């Protein structure tokens, strides 16, 4: 990080022609201010290089393309590193990064761990510098193409089959299992799928297990604060050695990802208004408008005793 910041400083000096970067001397305040601003603007991209390295390290020990790392392998690598993969089982569960669907085969969900608060660099009370969420780019691409918050199943399948990620090539054939899951979501919502709900986020995790987070049910996680994390969130060496020595039994269903059929929408879907009453109400409004326009003319005719209305009366009526 120190090397990168020094390189950025010299680059700015050279490109802005503020002063010769190869000569000593005092640094003008204006240049120092500009340097600090650029450091803040560019730091997230630099920090994400570390995130990609962390993702690659997790994928090196990934379990059969599931987007998960067996907890035994997680701690086995953690014992060899000074800073990586040392969170306790309880803290991983609180972060929503622990898959304990099968208690005999605990695993760490790669995207959930990657985007947990423990991998963020808190710079101030206003924002944190975290890893880029690759799934947001995927969802943004879908939104741009579908242009509606609730889409048809066939449209989603067509767009996702052509949507490429860092680890998923495109075009591809969507598996029958994924199609069945999407149909299941659609049946819960009248044949269409809300893009901003928990079930579709879960479906995206199944489609892109290394990029999209597995969405926990609300209230099931409680991410630790920074003070808690700095306190006692790391696993003891004894715990890591005990877990890393375990050999998990792997059966045929070990590669299947969990599916929790609980929906949580960002905003409730607005029910469609019936077409017949709506058309009827429009007709009533139109008739009322015609009657309101006709009444002044009828009243004026009555006052004139059936005679021709003079120009003054006509002018006021208009």
pLDDT in tens, 49-91: 888 989 999 999 999 999 999 999 999 998 887 778 888 998 8
User: How much is the pLDDT for 252?
Assistant: 54
Choice between 318 and 248, residue whose per-residue pLDDT is larger: 248
% of the chain residues with pLDDT over 90: 41
- Mean pLDDT within 268-276: 50
- Mean pLDDT within 285-291: 54
**pLDDT surpasses 60 at 201:** yes
Question: What's the longest Cα–Cα distance across the chain?
Answer: 108
pLDDT in tens, 181-192: 999 999 999 999
pLDDT in tens, 20-55: 556 556 666 777 777 777 777 777 778 788 889 899
**pLDDT surpasses 70 at 19:** no
> What residue ranges in 24-159 does DSSP mark as E strands?
68-70, 98-99, 107-109, 121-122, 128-129, 150-152
Query: Is the Cβ–Cβ distance between 215 and 198 less than 8 Å?
Result: yes
Q: Which of 102, 106, 104, 59 is nearest to 87 (CA)?
A: 106
Choice between 116 and 306, residue whose per-residue pLDDT is larger: 116
| Element housing 156 (H / E) | helix 153-161
Model-level pTM? 0.73
Mean pLDDT score across all residues of the chain: 79
**pLDDT surpasses 90 at 227:** no
3-state secondary structure labels for all residues of 182-221: HHHHHHHCCCEEECCEHHHHHHHHHHCCCCCCCCCCCCCC
Choice between 33 and 132, residue whose per-residue pLDDT is larger: 132
**pLDDT surpasses 90 at 168:** yes
Long-range contacts of 265-274 (CB under 8 A, 24+ apart): 265/194, 265/196, 265/197, 265/198, 266/196, 266/197, 267/196, 269/150, 269/189, 269/194
Going from N- to C-terminal start, the domains of the chain cover 2-129, 134-255, 275-317
- Residue 307: band (very low, low, confident or very high) from pLDDT cuts 50, 70, 90: very low
How far is the first Cα of the chain from the last one, in angstroms, to the nearest whole number? 78
**pLDDT surpasses 60 at 110:** yes
Cis peptide bond prior to 76, omega within 30° of 0: no
- Residue 157: band (very low, low, confident or very high) from pLDDT cuts 50, 70, 90: very high
User: How much is the pLDDT for 310?
Assistant: 46
User: How much is the pLDDT for 306?
Assistant: 46
CA distance readout (Å), 81 to 84, 85, 115, 257: 6, 8, 20, 29
């Amino acid at each position: 990080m120190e090397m990168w910041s020094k390189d950025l400083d010299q680059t700015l000096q050279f490109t802005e022609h503020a002063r010769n970067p190869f000569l000593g001397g005092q640094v003008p305040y204006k240049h120092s201010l500009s340097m600090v601003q650029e450091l803040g603007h560019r730091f997230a991209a630099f920090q994400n290089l570390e995130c990609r390295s962390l993702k690659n390290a997790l994928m090196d020990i990934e379990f059969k393309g599931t987007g998960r790392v067996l907890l035994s392998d997680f701690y086995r690598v953690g014992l060899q590193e000074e800073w990586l993969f040392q969170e306790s089982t309880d803290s991983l569960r609180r972060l929503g990064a622990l898959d304990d669907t099968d208690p005999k085969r605990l695993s760490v969900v790669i995207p959930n761990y990657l985007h947990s608060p423990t991998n963020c660099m808190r710079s101030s009370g206003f924002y944190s510098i975290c890893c880029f969420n690759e799934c947001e780019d995927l969802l943004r691409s879908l939104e741009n193409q579908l242009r509606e918050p609730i889409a048809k199943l066939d449209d989603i399948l067509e767009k996702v089959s052509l949507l490429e990620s860092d680890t998923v090539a495109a075009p591809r054939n969507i598996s029958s299992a994924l199609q069945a899951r999407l149909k299941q979501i659609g049946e819960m919502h009248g044949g269409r799928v809300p893009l901003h709900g928990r079930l579709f986020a879960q479906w995206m995790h199944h489609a892109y297990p290394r990029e999209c987070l597995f969405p926990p049910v609300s209230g099931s996680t409680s991410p630790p604060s920074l003070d808690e994390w700095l306190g006692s969130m790391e696993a003891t060496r004894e715990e890591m050695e005990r877990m890393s020595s375990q050999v998990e039994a792997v059966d045929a269903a070990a590669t299947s990802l969990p599916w929790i059929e609980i929906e949580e929408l960002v905003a409730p879907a607005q029910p469609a208004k019936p077409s017949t009453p709506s058309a009827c109400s429009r007709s009533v409004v139109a008739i009322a408008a015609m009657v309101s326009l006709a009444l002044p003319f009828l009243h004026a005719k009555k006052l004139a005793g059936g005679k021709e209305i003079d120009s003054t009366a006509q002018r006021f009526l208009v």
